Chains A and B, each alone.
Chain A
């Protein structure tokens, strides 16, 4: 029986809020938070007044990048099914679920359809028993509404969430940017922002109809937020997420053909960016995720239309989230809910808070440490559109189930 007493910390819990105190951990499980008698057999860790918070549950990463996750305070990741091979087979799902342990828990999002082709349903139940915590459509939507409805209905029976990509593929086919002045000036193929709301509207209707749990991995436009807000009010079981890029950058970041700003969905207009910040503030957006998708120069140092979409986001997720706290968009406890408690709930995981009985998945961070984002110093690939940006907040130590990572 090992006991650890974290003392002299700012205890930041999505449920209990932020206050000075300590945290008692027994056998990898949180025993008490706040003020408590330090047992004689406990190993004491002095947190030096820094912030102790639940480790980040990153909902929707495309690559397993341990060093980057460690640096970013990420203890659990939900792995997107778009790998090679696609996560549509129980054996592959099980392997993915096991390779990270014990330091990093990987929760696979199994492919909802075989090969992510959007046609035949994959073995969702067997994949779930093999460790999948959700099923997903991957980088694209399921074009056939009949298939999507059956996926949602079947996932409803299994009580697992369907993680959907919300872009109407008919509108976005071949597009690498959002319609607007930047795309027009650069001569980049672009699609209207309404492509997102179209897909969101359909999937909301189907989720409402089937009673399924729908998680829209990235919602980024004002029209989509309006639809989700209204659906939540009606009681539709929908959650949605976003990455820091769509909260801090607009499509102007693609100027000069900067392929590091080539994302999926593409960066939006400034008014959509403002709407996204509003949707974080009013709680419409539930999850803040990194969308971690590391690409080397062979995928990024290409003409914009030929380059791969995506950014390395794991190491900058917390500081870019803290920027929202500093801007007054939301309080720290709510940010931690978006980073840990809410994604855990979507995935059906008993973690993400500092309540007694929860696994001691923890990160200790200094919210004030200033540093400058430097992609070349990243653990693996440095494809970040935030290169050079001064930020504050750095993860100091990370524990998975009471064991330091």
Chain B
């Protein structure tokens, strides 16, 4: 376990360790607060690997996973995280909900609130939707991805993976490559990694690069090989198939040629860590031999995901559970 470089707020006179009611994004979190969540998650990694008696600290609490956008992996990860902690987990899929019947998001939020959930996990296709709900419910809200805006638990699990594999995040040269324009994973990772003093590079064709991205404290590249020079971590983003039909990229094979993480490209980076938030387009943005190779941390990312989400569920419900020092 790596101790964080940042001093937790608890050690700062008058500070609270994690004063936020919700986790709607990495934006707004102090570096020591991010580090605190990573430290907490670290303990759950160990607990999940051991066969010790389970810690059911969320016993009796109700966790609602409200997913307005389809998801398999993130939903499963949040469900397992909640159940490991003993919470009663209920999943709400938009396909089964009244959202399809034209109910507004605010009404849905009020309905969820009236169910007296103890924590709500939300994924929505619109940027800012999670904040909108969070402002109108009494319990903590966790953002599981909102539009192109943020996906904070993904950034936390990525940071945890890097910290465990590389020892520290500060000073690491992290290359994020892919559909940065449409990616909430990229935005949250940029915020988290720059906050933790990594050197972030993003790489994408100009058609998939957001405007003024350099204002987020990073260096943009359009040439993948130039971006990869000296990289410690290579984080590949999924490129949606519909974007490769000519709208943003001429074809998937042209994309692989210019931006695919191939064994040839990785051969120049023998110590680099390979990451991908999944699901992967094997043979497009990442080759199978790279994804399954010794430098890949992709399955470890999934493992860290459960630990990070357990930590977030635990920390955000501490006030309601009356944990000492959190009242």
Contacts and interface: CB of A to CB of B under 8 A. Distances in A.
Interface stretch (A15-23, A128-136, A302-310, A388-396): A302-310
B83 to A, nearest CB: 30
A96 interface: no
B127 A179 contact: no
Contact of B211 (A180, A187, A303, A304): A180
Contacts of A302: 104-106, 132
Interface in B126-162: 126-129, 131-132, 146-150
B128 A257 contact: yes
A301 B127 CA distance: 13
Given A185-B187, A298-B104, A305 B127 contact: yes
A209 interface: no
A192 B126 CA distance: 21
A179 B213 CA distance: 10
B212 interface: yes
A181 to B, nearest CB: 4
Contacts of A303: 105, 124, 126-129, 132, 147
A350 to B, nearest CB: 47
Interface in A136-190: 179-181, 183-190
B245 interface: no
B148 A187 contact: yes
A256 interface: yes
Interface in A37-87: none
B10 interface: no
B210 interface: yes
Nearest to A193: B211
A64 B187 CA distance: 42
Contacts of B150: 187
A129 B54 CA distance: 81
Q: Which of B104, B106, B210 has the most CB of A within 10 A?
A: B210
B59 interface: no
B197 interface: no
B216 A187 contact: no
B49 interface: no
Greatest chain A CB density within 10 A among B128, B147, B184 is at: B128
B211 A301 contact: no
A262 to B, nearest CB: 11
A335 B104 CA distance: 42
A180 B210 CA distance: 8
Contact of A184 (B124, B129, B184, B212): B212
Interface string A300-325: 01111110000000000000000000
B27 interface: yes
Interface string A325-369: 000000000000000000000000000000000000000000000
Contacts of B106: 297, 301-302
**Which size class do A's interface residues fall under?**
20 to 34
Pick the most buried of A187, A298, A303, A305: most chain B CB atoms within 10 A of its CB.
A187
Contacts of A188: 127-128, 148
A306 B129 CA distance: 10
Given A187-B148, A188-B148, A257 B215 contact: no
Contacts of A298: 104
Given A257-B132, A303-B105, A187 B147 contact: yes
Interface in A225-259: 256-257
Contacts of A180: 211-212
B266 to A, nearest CB: 29
Contact of A187 (B104, B184, B212, B215): B184
Interface string A272-308: 0000000000000000000000000110011111100
Interface in B191-244: 210-213, 215-216
Given A298-B104, A303-B105, A305-B147, A184 B128 contact: no
A257 B131 contact: yes
Contact of B215 (A181, A192, A304): A181
A332 B129 CA distance: 43
Contacts of A187: 127-128, 146-150, 184, 187
Contacts of A257: 127-128, 131-132
Given A179-B211, A181-B215, A187-B147, A304 B27 contact: no
B110 to A, nearest CB: 12
B210 A184 contact: yes
A250 to B, nearest CB: 13
A301 B213 CA distance: 28
Contacts of A184: 210-213, 215-216
B58 to A, nearest CB: 29
Given A185-B27, A302-B105, A190 B211 contact: yes
Given A181-B212, A303-B129, 13 more contacts: A180-B212, A181-B215, A187-B127, A187-B146, A188-B128, A188-B148, A257-B128, A257-B132, A301-B106, A303-B126, A303-B132, A304-B128, A305-B126
20 contacts: A180-B212, A184-B216, A185-B187, A187-B147, A187-B150, A187-B184, A190-B211, A257-B132, A297-B106, A302-B132, A303-B105, A303-B127, A303-B128, A303-B129, A303-B132, A304-B126, A305-B127, A305-B128, A305-B147, A306-B126
